[in-house]
Amino acid sequence: MTDIDVLLSESRRFPPPADFTADAQVRDRTLHAAAAADDVAYWADQASTLLWQRPWDTALEWTPPHARWFTGGQLNVSENCLDRHLAAGRGNKAAIVWEGEPGDRRTLTYWELAREVRTFANVLLGLGVRKGDRVGIYLPLIPEAAIAMLACARIGAIHSVVFGGFSPESLRDRMNDAAASVVITADGGYRRGQVVPLKRNTDKALAECPSVRHVVVVQRRSTGPIGDAHVEMVEGRDHWYHELMRKASDVCAPAAMDAEDVLFILYTSGTTGKPKGIVHTTGGYLVGAASSTRMVFDLREDDVFWCTADVGWITGHTYLVYGPLANGATCVMYEGAPDWPERDRFWDLCARHGVTILYTAPTAIRAFMKWGDEHPRRHDLSRLRLLGSVGEPINPEAWMWYHEVIGGGRCPIVDTWWQTETGSIVLSPLPGVTTTKPGSATEPLPGYRAALLDAAAGEIPVGGGLLALTRPWPSMLRTIWGDDARYVQTYFSKWPDRPDLYFPGDGAKRDEDGYFWVLGRVDDVLNVAGHRIGTMEVESALVEHPAVAEAAVVGKAHEVKGQAICAFVTLRDGHTPTSALRDDLRSFVATKIGALARPDDLLFSADLPKTRSGKIMRRLLRDIAEGRALGDTTTLADPSVVAALKDQYADQEG
Ligand code: WT7
């Protein structure tokens, strides 16, 4: 059976529990219907739940493929996430309940968070940061990450968060692409008991970042000293966060930002070696983040919402910081690994903090399943009332396990499909409304229109095809930083006669009920443990190694990670394929990009299968990596290459 057949035969149905629906934010399909009748009016209604300093003139200006939302309107994201709640009496409510990996804890109320944000906004102003300037954030998952993001938003600076697991070179490239003037980092962070030397990485990166004038270093104080010895402060450039904070005023009015002013850039992998700087703006992004958080997670005043993502990813931006805070929610933030010090860390956190809504990734759920039920069983998870999944397709067995073992059979599951580019959730059940099917992200949220199309833009009502979004939406990316042509090419050129259709790069299937089942990328982008990695990025890293002549990278199905990275490498003359070299090359990629890009398999090959025009046939390499019968090899310049590779692969595996 193919994957599609497996999904097609999934017949379990989970209607929303009646008691859940009775109290839900959304209880029926009125919003879906209203939005279908007039999506722009629907979005204007959603936008009016935010605090605007000046109302907008026009809700949508759509000149495909460029959209502008709420033009003429002015607002400030930090004012919406903070000041508004102080005015509403939430000052003493916990905004962020944080736990570090070593077990250190901090809780920031809305009052405290607002004060820290205003103070740090003044620190940034003091360092010369002005509206529109770019600020890099390279931090562990500590409250200062959210403080730094919100402080940028307060003064209209554009943040570019770089995941702490990325390498110095990745940080360097991102800072240079956006010409950042300030970088905020920390002496270190914790991951699986190890210290991640963020400041040292920053120093390496900044050796080649001429635009960066200042570095602010957070002292990540905790149970153990984080190698202060290793942190060297560059006179005039580097400043300790706590020292600047002590001197700064905590009075800072929120800047009046145009709805279309850029809020942040976030880099993500595409089909070339160079990551794309996805640009999100102020008004539309916040409308998407705030409304989806409220509806999809059915937020209530007393919820404790834990989104397990790092702020280095879009999920952390939208559902750890902006969405929940815009709704005045209490968020749990956890710095470290799920199996540190034990494999029950997540469940210990849920129980101790009384988490009511948990949002995590299928790769984590599959790992938990493998580790065994005894870990969650040891903890009281009865406060949980809603579970979410994001990042990749969730296989029905993992969905069922999540439902039964974590959710006790009572919590609805929202399988949410979206992307860095969409800014917020697009396809998802509404937990009080939608009957769910394990493995399906179900349907577009109100205000969205999705379709399954063939290569000629013909709609496929039932069956498999390419996923498309057929209407603009407020939190959509506006462009790729510095490269609008790539924006048009990547997202709006799949169907040349229809420049209004957004192509996310995913294939999907639609069933008789109209439900969407997203199957995964149809381009050269891998999804490894929920992280997006371009095959070209890994290939570019490999060919920078002096021993490598050529490299081809493909994804291979992996039980826990979803996909694993599999590299085929041909060596330059004079280099011998040894296992030491294999290890060296794998580490080389980790050093160049980050540990998440380290190839799982690496195979030396005298040659790579190519078409007569010289294009590497990745499809055949995938067949080899996954141990399948070889597909059509007739277009190959030299069919013997692939047969030899297949044997060699089988030998190595065996
Ligand atoms: C890609 C986007 C946006 C959250 C984190 C990832 C895949 C994401 C699902 C889902 C099937 C999913 C898609 C998408 N994806 N969520 N619920 N079901 N696939 O963001 O790094 O921008 O990756 O992740 O392939 O295109 P991202």
**Stretch 393-400: mean pLDDT, rounded?**
96
The response to whether residue 426 sits with its C-beta less than 6 Å from ligand 1 reads: no
Residue 607 or residue 300, greater confidence: 300
Which tokens in the block code for residue 513? 């009920």
Q: How confident is the model at residue 630 (pLDDT cuts 50, 70, 90)?
A: confident
Conformational region of residue 190, where left means phi above 0, alpha means psi within -120 to 50, and beta covers everything else = beta
Which tokens in the block code for residue 391? 């990042």
What's the pLDDT score for residue 225?
54
Q: What is the position in ligand 1's atom list of the atom closest to the CA of 428?
A: 17
What's the pLDDT score for residue 629?
75
| 360: exposed, middle or buried (Cβ count in 10 Å: 0-12, 13-18, 19+) | buried
- How far apart, in whole angstroms, are the C-alpha atoms of residue 36 and residue 53? 29
Q: How confident is the model at residue 224 (pLDDT cuts 50, 70, 90)?
A: low
The response to whether residue 521 sits with its C-beta less than 6 Å from ligand 1 reads: yes
The response to whether residue 425 sits with its C-beta less than 6 Å from ligand 1 reads: no
Q: Supply the residue whose CA is at minimum distance from atom 3 of ligand 1.
A: 419
Q: What is the position in ligand 1's atom list of the atom closest to the CA of 309?
A: 5
CATH number for the domain harbouring residue 639: 3.30.300.30
| 184 pLDDT more than 50 | yes
Residue to mutate, 389, 414, 417, ligand 1, most ligand atoms under 8 Å from C-beta: 417
| 56 pLDDT more than 90 | yes
Render pLDDT for 73-82 as a digit per residue (tens, 0 to 9): 999 999 999 9
| 594 pLDDT more than 50 | yes
In angstroms, what is the span from residue 372 Cα to ligand 1's centroid?
A: 26
Q: What is the position in ligand 1's atom list of the atom closest to the CA of 441?
A: 17
Q: What is the position in ligand 1's atom list of the atom closest to the CA of 504?
A: 26
| 234 pLDDT more than 70 | yes
Residue to mutate, 314, 418, 425, ligand 1, most ligand atoms under 8 Å from C-beta: 418
Q: Supply the residue whose CA is at minimum distance from atom 21 of ligand 1.
A: 532
Total tally of structural domains belonging to the chain: 1
The response to whether residue 532 sits with its C-beta less than 6 Å from ligand 1 reads: yes
**Is cis: bond before 546, omega within 30 of 0?**
no
The response to whether residue 504 sits with its C-beta less than 6 Å from ligand 1 reads: yes
Render pLDDT for 504-540 as a digit per residue (tens, 0 to 9): 999 999 999 999 999 999 999 999 999 999 999 999 9
| 1: exposed, middle or buried (Cβ count in 10 Å: 0-12, 13-18, 19+) | exposed
* Strand bridging mode 516-521 / 506-510: antiparallel
What's the pLDDT score for residue 612?
85
**Stretch 368-385: mean pLDDT, rounded?**
98
Task: Give the DSSP letter of residue 28.
Answer: S
The response to whether residue 269 sits with its C-beta less than 6 Å from ligand 1 reads: no
In angstroms, what is the span from residue 86 Cα to ligand 1's centroid?
A: 34
632 domain-assigned: yes
Render pLDDT for 243-270 as a digit per residue (tens, 0 to 9): 999 999 999 999 999 999 999 999 999 9
The response to whether residue 314 sits with its C-beta less than 6 Å from ligand 1 reads: yes
618 domain-assigned: yes
Dihedral of the CA atoms 501, 284, 184, 180 (nearest 10)? 60
Q: Supply the residue whose CA is at minimum distance from atom 17 of ligand 1.
A: 417
Conformational region of residue 88, where left means phi above 0, alpha means psi within -120 to 50, and beta covers everything else = alpha
| 315 pLDDT more than 90 | yes
Q: Supply the residue whose CA is at minimum distance from atom 7 of ligand 1.
A: 392
Q: What is the position in ligand 1's atom list of the atom closest to the CA of 420?
A: 22
- How far apart, in whole angstroms, are the C-alpha atoms of residue 260 and residue 281? 5
Q: How confident is the model at residue 41 (pLDDT cuts 50, 70, 90)?
A: very high
Residue to mutate, 268, 390, 469, ligand 1, most ligand atoms under 8 Å from C-beta: 390
Q: What is the position in ligand 1's atom list of the atom closest to the CA of 505?
A: 26
Calculate what percentage of the chain has a pLDDT beyond 70.
96
Q: Which residues are CB-neighbours of 564 under 8 A, at least 6 positions away?
A: 528, 555, 556, 557, 558, 600, 601
Q: Which of 154-168, 385-399, 501-515, 635-649 has the lowest mean pLDDT?
A: 635-649
**Stretch 382-402: mean pLDDT, rounded?**
97
| 654 pLDDT more than 60 | no
**Stretch 442-456: mean pLDDT, rounded?**
98
Q: What is the position in ligand 1's atom list of the atom closest to the CA of 417?
A: 17
| 582 pLDDT more than 50 | yes
Render pLDDT for 17-39 as a digit per residue (tens, 0 to 9): 999 999 999 999 999 999 999 99
Q: What is the position in ligand 1's atom list of the atom closest to the CA of 269?
A: 21
Domain containing residue 543: 525-653
| 200 pLDDT more than 50 | yes
| Residue pair 327/293 in contact by the 8 Å Cβ criterion | yes
In angstroms, what is the span from residue 512 Cα to ligand 1's centroid?
A: 23
55 domain-assigned: no
Q: Which residues are CB-neighbours of 448 under 8 A, at least 6 positions away?
A: 39, 426, 427, 469, 471, 473
Q: DSSP 3-state assignment of 409? A: coil
The response to whether residue 417 sits with its C-beta less than 6 Å from ligand 1 reads: yes
Residue to mutate, 419, 427, 494, 506, ligand 1, most ligand atoms under 8 Å from C-beta: 419
| 223 pLDDT more than 50 | no
Q: Supply the residue whose CA is at minimum distance from atom 20 of ligand 1.
A: 419
Q: Which residues are CB-neighbours of 632 under 8 A, at least 6 positions away?
A: none
In angstroms, what is the span from residue 168 Cα to ligand 1's centroid?
A: 25
The response to whether residue 160 sits with its C-beta less than 6 Å from ligand 1 reads: no
567 domain-assigned: yes
Calculate what percentage of the chain has a pLDDT beyond 90.
89
Question: DSSP letters along 532-574, please?
Answer: EEEHHHHHHHHHTSTTEEEEEEEEEEETTTEEEEEEEEEEPTT
197 domain-assigned: no
The response to whether residue 119 sits with its C-beta less than 6 Å from ligand 1 reads: no
What's the pLDDT score for residue 494?
98
Which tokens in the block code for residue 332? 């749990």
pTM of the model: 0.95
**Stretch 169-188: mean pLDDT, rounded?**
98
| Residue pair 365/402 in contact by the 8 Å Cβ criterion | yes
Q: Supply the residue whose CA is at minimum distance from atom 19 of ligand 1.
A: 392
- The residue type found at 597 is A
| 226 pLDDT more than 70 | no
The response to whether residue 278 sits with its C-beta less than 6 Å from ligand 1 reads: no
The response to whether residue 506 sits with its C-beta less than 6 Å from ligand 1 reads: yes
80 domain-assigned: no
Stated as kind and residue range, the H or E segment containing 44 is: helix 39-47
The average confidence (pLDDT) of the chain is 95
Q: Supply the residue whose CA is at minimum distance from atom 1 of ligand 1.
A: 419
116 domain-assigned: no
592 domain-assigned: yes
**Start-to-end Cα distance in the chain:** 25
